Structure 1
Amino acid sequence: MNEKTINEQYAYIRSLLEEKRLKEALMQLESLLWQCPDWDLRNRMEQLQTSYKYMLEYMRQGANDPERWNVYRKLVADTWEIADRSRLLMLDNASSRYYHEVRRTPRSEDLSAYTLKKLLHMLESFNDDLAVSGLLSDEKMDDVLKRHEDTLKFMFLQTWTNSSWTPEEEEDAQSMLISELLPVNDLCLFISAVTLSLMECFDLRKVMWLLDAYRHPDVNASQRALVGVIFIFHIYRNRLSLYPDLIKRVEFMDEISSFQEDVARIYHQMLLCQETEKIDKKMREEIIPEMLKNVSSMRNMRFGFEENEEENDDKNPDWADAFEQSGLGDKLREMNELQLEGADVYMSTFAALKSYPFFREVQNWFYPFSKQQSDVIKQLKQEGNEKNTLLDLILQSGFFSNSDKYSLFFTIRQLPKAQQDMMLSQLGEQQVAELSEKSNAETMKKFNERPGTVSNQYLHDLYRFFKLSVRRHEFRDIFKEKLDLHHIPALNNVLYNEYILFPIADFYLKKERWNEAIEVYEEMETIGALKGRGAEYYQKLGYALQKNKKYAEAIDAYLKADTLKPDNIWNNRHLAICYRLNRNYQAALSYYKKVEEATPESTNVIFHIGSCLAELGQYEEAANYFFKLDFIESNCIKAWRGIGWCSFISRKYEQAMKYYEKIIGQKPLAIDYMNAGHVAWAMGDIQKAAALYGKSITANGNRERFLEMFRKDEEALLKQGIQEEDIPLMLDLL
């Protein structure tokens, strides 16, 4: 069997289990296992079949078994696990993915002896070994660093490709959590390896271990573990209910006061990560080109040919105006707000800096930036551990993710020392002094150790791995998926409340993700959470529905808001818009009139009142509104267009032609030429009408579009006295 066939058969078994069709799933699994080399799995499957057969027989006989559901749940869980294992074993022989390449590569006897316990002892001795080697020679230190990184790689690959822990391995993993000598960065890498392993294959022991790791006193380890838990819960949401002990365990996590806050924050940060492509596009297409454009335009705003020192500081106040007028100010403020919110604004900057050999190794994407990484420590030694180096400033930053820090480090390292010094000098002495000042350094340290900073950086690292790694196509990219974490059974009690979901809904609304916003607002309405929240949330629901072109539903939401907060101008205006777009012009008119009372000079409202009146056949009154609009707003083509049509229908042909000619002299559309042709025809000027119709055909691009427009106006032409028999003749004139 090839990789595609194996995955398809597994997917079918999984779908049967999700639908609780256990008997069929077992039959399909039996078929799959005929191709699997592991006879232990086959024996386990046969035992499951026998157990289920007896269970069904007892049920047929009417036996009352209070444990029936628990037994059934266990049978489903075990069947799923056997399917997982058999799939992996078969893919080991069929897949070219690196994961399976590592699994099928035989290990020597020496390497097989390296259990997790032995690896832990080796990692625990690293700091002492490094300190001693540093006193001896650079060569010794290099050996220690290489051995450490080789050990980390082996530990990562072994953990990642181990589909299920034995009780002994679980115990060894627990030892890593309680070790006081294990460097926390090494523990963080192990946590990532466990997470990636779970993404390949579910293992209850590993999930429980991640929940234990969340209790670790180091914030880097605990937040990384919680991100892993949330990822795994998202992936296996449909089978979590099969493990009641796991559900209970999550419920007990409420004992940790920060648990709910941490989960809610990571939920929000994951949603923010999904906005990265939009931000990246905005940076590339708007911000950076605008900055480059403004550099040259602002440079030309100085006067004089030579500048003395005094003139150098004589900044032109017009620059600020130019900066704001360009729109760049707003864009940069938006980027700044996004960064403060935790959005990933550096993706476009660092995407091109992930081609260094360092990033070819999977584990390096997950190792925290460290001064003890071999390349970094060598560079620091070359610089003599000087303070205030550019590298130190990078290390202090809480805005860059770990992999971005490595990218920046490798990029800077390639520069000559003189250029590095120049980059540092461009920061300015004051900025360097501020960063170096003890109080600011402490503030930076506290910022870096905040749970929110740590989880956000780690999510950015994961995002880069799934988007930029050379092996990205071999991994499931969670950031492409719908992240409705509040629907995950294990997180229901944590996330399914209005205080968490309302900000999520507002986030979707702000980011113009209308479907998701609607879904969450409607869920809140279903559980009655909107009632005590006032009109604002019904307005938001209505707005999302309106943007999604669900006008009737939007009207219902706006009407509920109107009940709670009558005669709100914004609400009335949007009711008017939705009624108009839903072609209920009478209702739209009534709400536009209410808005007009509050904002009598609003050109938009005046225009739409005129439009609604025209649609209702009240052309004289409609024309008055269009005249008012023309008076308020000079050269208002849409007012002229309204006056022209109303005048035509009212048989005021000279007036109609006057306004259509004004439009044609400005920026005419195809419909303007056609309507002017109607007027000319009604006035008896066949030649002019034909010429105008011809221009409409040209503006339309083809005759068919023109005919489609023309057919809609035939009734209006007949009412103006045009003979029905003349219409095909006129069309043949064109």
Structure 2
Amino acid sequence: MNVEEILSKAIGCLMDKRLSNAIDVLEQLYSQRPSLIGHGEFDSIKSDYQLMVDYMGKGFPDSHRESLYKTLLQRLYRVTADLEISWRCKNVSAYANSFRVADHLNTSHDFVRTVLESFVSDVALLSLQPEETREEKSKELYERHHSFINRLFNALWTSCQWTDNDSSFYTDLLLSPTVVSADQQVVVSAISLSAMNQFDINKFKTLVKVYQAASDQHVKQRALVGWVLSIFEGMDIFPEQDAIIHELCSSQAVAKELLTLQIQFFYSSDAEKDNDKIQRDIMPDIMRNSNLTIGRLGIMEKEEDALESILHQDADEKRMEQLEEKVRKMMDMQKQGSDIYFGGFRQMKQFPFFYDMVNWFTPFYLDHPALRPVIQKLGDTKFLETLMNRSNFCESDRYSLAFALEQIINQLPSNIKEAIGSDAMLGPLAESDDTEDAISIRRTYLQDLYRFFRLYPTANNFINPFEDSGKGDFVGDTFFFTYKSFIGTGLDEVKLRLAMHLYKHQQMTELADLLTTFQSDDPRYAILMGYTNISLGKAEYAYPFFDKALKIEPDNQWALKGKARAALESEDYHTAEEVYALLLALEPNNKNYTMNRCVALLKLGRTSEVREELFRLDYQYPNDMNVKRILAWAMLTDKSLDKAAQLYESLLSTSPANEDYLNAGYCQWAKGDMKRAVELFREWMRKSGNDTEQLLDEFRNDTDTLKKYGISETDCYLMLSLVG
């Protein structure tokens, strides 16, 4: 085994509480490389364990045996984790780069506190500097401080296991009013990144304590995201983790905040799907109705078409209405939580600024050394101030926009240059008056995290919480509501609300996973269980759940619809007809209920009962192809071939479904037009991607209908040969 495999196996043994096995595995490593970190502690653990074994072998009772064994497991885990970090700093690109940037920074507690607190006083003293030297002094101060923060960030996220003293120090530092918020936010992100990639109980405790006590929402929300993503399933050798989680979730406020965080995680993970939707459905219309064009000389306004203005005097007004409608759609997506900017800004992360990992986590501030050239190019800070104070972009997107503007400022039309910095510059999509509320702060931070894990050059070296990259001994996952650590906690009280959200967005796989982690007497829980079984292809198992809900609420249409749908999919047409009849009693004019009841009756061979109803529906909804589809099948089963053929021709000439070719083929076969029937069956196979075996299955499913026209099993085999 190589070093990575040895360490991974040792971690696995420890998580299984097999201390002896873990010692044997690590012995291989230390025997080959005795100078490795933690060798002395390893020998001490091995010696203590042997004493335990000898003591038990002599038959002595020991009331402390359990706690001592747990302590040895924890001590050996820390040794193994430190070995793993040490190995990564030499062999994994992201760690090696950060280890080099940290450059053996002095991370003693006194030194770190002194530097961070001195910066605050140094900034205050700048106002006392003579005006002619103040700018240069400010430049030097911020460059020196950014260099320190960069090194500290890289030192922290690649740090080994923390002690209790480390945890206490950083907890106090992150809650201190004498350290600027931006520095605290960067430190929280560094601790989070470290704990996410290598479990560390003391870093986890630090993040929890900061979340509980921080008054600064920016620090608090980063700490919340950090401790949630730092949870490791199966880490039973550190029972404090689950104890802390249980205590946290006993607070209704925390449970509610975790619920909104979980929903935000889902929206963040859908960033690329949302971008595809915007590019496909929204942006083409926005560009088409915009009066700007991009040419060789930059962005220019389109010249007005005089003839267009004469012939279509309301054209401008219509274009504006269409533009506003598309912008409103994007605003609605944004209000729901969608990351509507990812697609645009993902192309703007190639600036050298983003080569430094710390910059992905640094709050946007005007004195960042990298923004000095931007300010010089723009001439003032008005636009950047608007970007910082009024926009709802995430931090890294703000930097991207600033650098992009620096590059194109000379190519912009004069009227746009004049508008830069005004309140209206960012437009309705980007402007926000609520940038400081907890939900907005957390949303933009998650967007920063998502961009980092998707776009940073060496991001594949990390455990990616948004997508399991297979790195490390643990699995990253943002669906924390399903974690074993949260089962049986106060979080169970809000899981039904999350379940309803997942159902609304048809995330049925996630819903199925969630429902197994809790139970509820609420009828909605039973109904969701029913629909989940249907989505998993187990419609026959859905009945008891819908019946349970209907015992409590007999007229619950959601439950009745689910039961009827389950009956149709289970081919239990008697039950389907009965339930749709109940639904129609509650809502007599519901078209879908009527259509589905007709389908059930047709499957039961009761065609005469649906003819009149279907003709009425076809008259009321002449453009509804589904009504025509059911009516055509009714005519086919009722041996009204001419009417059926007419309806199928209508369906095939408009927007045919795959099944229309199959059923039209039956119709032509029954009429004796073999050539046309063969063509239609072949078209069905081509459209659906099926072969003659699937076609034979369809023939068998529709045996009763085919028999009405004297089509036998032998005829079916011969037809397959004709089609084949």
SS at match of 2:73: helix
Q: What is the CA-CA distance between 1:273 and the residue it aligns to?
A: 1.7
- Are the aligned partners of 2:101 and 2:154 in contact in 1 as well (CA < 8 Å)? no
Structure 1: how far apart are the matches of 2:131 and 2:120?
Answer: 11
**Residues 229 and 27 (structure 1 numbering): CA distance in 2 closer, same or farther, change over 3 Å?**
same
**Residues 398 and 53 (structure 1 numbering): CA distance in 2 closer, same or farther, change over 3 Å?**
farther
Structure 2: how far apart are the matches of 1:467 and 1:178?
Answer: 31
Aligned residue pairs total 690
From 348, 360, 365, the counterpart of 1:353: 348
From 281, 285, 288, the counterpart of 2:280: 285
Partner of 1:99: 95
Structure 1: how far apart are the matches of 2:711 and 2:182?
Answer: 85
Is 1:229 the counterpart of 2:227? The answer is yes
- Are the aligned partners of 2:116 and 2:179 in contact in 1 as well (CA < 8 Å)? yes
Percent identity between matched residues is 23
User: Which stretch shows the higher mean deviation, 418-427 or 357-366?
Assistant: 418-427
Deviations 1:652-709 (CA, angstroms, capped at 9, x unpaired): 666666666666776774323421233224xxxxxx3344334433553476665554
User: Which stretch shows the higher mean deviation, 34-43 or 422-431?
Assistant: 422-431
- Are the aligned partners of 2:102 and 2:155 in contact in 1 as well (CA < 8 Å)? no
Partner of 2:265: 270
From 646, 662, 665, the counterpart of 1:674: 665
- List runs of 5+ in structure 2 lacking aligned partners: 292-301, 468-475
Is 1:88 the counterpart of 2:82? The answer is no
Amino acid at match of 1:472: A
User: Which stretch shows the higher mean deviation, 269-278 or 414-423?
Assistant: 414-423
SS at match of 2:38: helix
Q: What is the CA-CA distance between 1:616 and the residue it aligns to?
A: 2.0
Structure 1: how far apart are the matches of 2:152 and 2:562?
Answer: 60
Q: What is the CA-CA distance between 1:364 and the residue it aligns to?
A: 1.0
From 238, 241, 257, the counterpart of 1:243: 238
- List runs of 5+ in structure 1 lacking aligned partners: 436-440, 682-687
Q: What is the CA-CA distance between 1:173 and the residue it aligns to?
A: 3.7
From 570, 575, 580, the counterpart of 1:582: 570
**Residues 728 and 100 (structure 1 numbering): CA distance in 2 closer, same or farther, change over 3 Å?**
closer
Partner of 1:700: 685
SS at match of 1:242: coil
Structure 2: how far apart are the matches of 1:205 and 1:266?
Answer: 23
Alignment of 1:387-398 (within 5 A): 389-397=382-390
User: Which stretch shows the higher mean deviation, 426-435 or 549-558?
Assistant: 426-435
- Are the aligned partners of 2:189 and 2:226 in contact in 1 as well (CA < 8 Å)? yes
TM-score, normalised on structure 2?
A: 0.81
Amino acid at match of 1:366: F
Q: What is the CA-CA distance between 1:203 and the residue it aligns to?
A: 3.3
**Residues 380 and 268 (structure 1 numbering): CA distance in 2 closer, same or farther, change over 3 Å?**
same
User: Which stretch shows the higher mean deviation, 352-361 or 696-705?
Assistant: 696-705
User: Which stretch shows the higher mean deviation, 698-707 or 73-82?
Assistant: 698-707
User: Which stretch shows the higher mean deviation, 358-367 or 417-426?
Assistant: 417-426
**Residues 646 and 490 (structure 1 numbering): CA distance in 2 closer, same or farther, change over 3 Å?**
closer
Higher relative contact order (CA 8 A, sep 6+): 2
Partner of 2:294: none
From 390, 400, 404, the counterpart of 1:407: 400
SS at match of 1:189: helix
Partner of 2:150: 153
**Residues 340 and 62 (structure 1 numbering): CA distance in 2 closer, same or farther, change over 3 Å?**
farther
Alignment of 1:556-595 (within 5 A): 556-595=544-583
Q: What is the CA-CA distance between 1:348 and the residue it aligns to?
A: 1.6
Is 1:448 the counterpart of 2:435? The answer is yes
From 588, 594, 607, the counterpart of 1:606: 594
Is 1:19 the counterpart of 2:16? The answer is yes
Is 1:506 the counterpart of 2:500? The answer is yes
- Are the aligned partners of 2:530 and 2:542 in contact in 1 as well (CA < 8 Å)? yes
Structure 1: how far apart are the matches of 2:54 and 2:93?
Answer: 44
Deviations 1:368-401 (CA, angstroms, capped at 9, x unpaired): 1112212335655777766xx2222111125111
Alignment of 1:308-327 (within 5 A): 323=322
Partner of 2:181: 184
From 62, 67, 74, the counterpart of 2:64: 67
**Residues 495 and 362 (structure 1 numbering): CA distance in 2 closer, same or farther, change over 3 Å?**
farther
Deviations 1:390-449 (CA, angstroms, capped at 9, x unpaired): 2221111251111111111112222336849743655897847999xxxxx9x94xx333
- Are the aligned partners of 1:637 and 1:663 in contact in 2 as well (CA < 8 Å)? yes
Amino acid at match of 2:506: E
User: Which stretch shows the higher mean deviation, 247-256 or 364-373?
Assistant: 247-256
Structure 2: how far apart are the matches of 1:493 and 1:475?
Answer: 31
SS at match of 1:542: helix
- Are the aligned partners of 1:191 and 1:210 in contact in 2 as well (CA < 8 Å)? yes
Deviations 1:35-78 (CA, angstroms, capped at 9, x unpaired): 44445634433443443444456556665433333222222222
Structure 2: how far apart are the matches of 1:174 and 1:212?
Answer: 7
Partner of 2:297: none
**Residues 370 and 49 (structure 1 numbering): CA distance in 2 closer, same or farther, change over 3 Å?**
same
**Residues 248 and 642 (structure 1 numbering): CA distance in 2 closer, same or farther, change over 3 Å?**
closer
Partner of 2:298: none
Structure 1: how far apart are the matches of 2:487 and 2:515?
Answer: 17
Amino acid at match of 1:511: H
Partner of 2:217: 219
**Residues 174 and 561 (structure 1 numbering): CA distance in 2 closer, same or farther, change over 3 Å?**
closer
- Are the aligned partners of 2:229 and 2:478 in contact in 1 as well (CA < 8 Å)? no
Q: What is the CA-CA distance between 1:359 and the residue it aligns to?
A: 0.7
Deviations 1:128-165 (CA, angstroms, capped at 9, x unpaired): 54513865164444333322222222222222222134
User: Which stretch shows the higher mean deviation, 572-581 or 376-385?
Assistant: 376-385
Structure 1: how far apart are the matches of 2:106 and 2:629?
Answer: 85
SS at match of 2:441: helix
CA RMSD of aligned residues (A): 4.2
Partner of 1:549: 537
Structure 2: how far apart are the matches of 1:87 and 1:174?
Answer: 25
**Residues 490 and 582 (structure 1 numbering): CA distance in 2 closer, same or farther, change over 3 Å?**
closer
Deviations 1:61-96 (CA, angstroms, capped at 9, x unpaired): 665433333222222222222221222333444x24
Structure 2: how far apart are the matches of 1:261 and 1:394?
Answer: 31
Amino acid at match of 2:662: I
**Residues 256 and 121 (structure 1 numbering): CA distance in 2 closer, same or farther, change over 3 Å?**
farther
Structure 2: how far apart are the matches of 1:62 and 1:49?
Answer: 20
SS at match of 1:634: coil
Structure 2: how far apart are the matches of 1:601 and 1:675?
Answer: 32
Q: What is the CA-CA distance between 1:99 and the residue it aligns to?
A: 0.8
**Residues 600 and 59 (structure 1 numbering): CA distance in 2 closer, same or farther, change over 3 Å?**
same
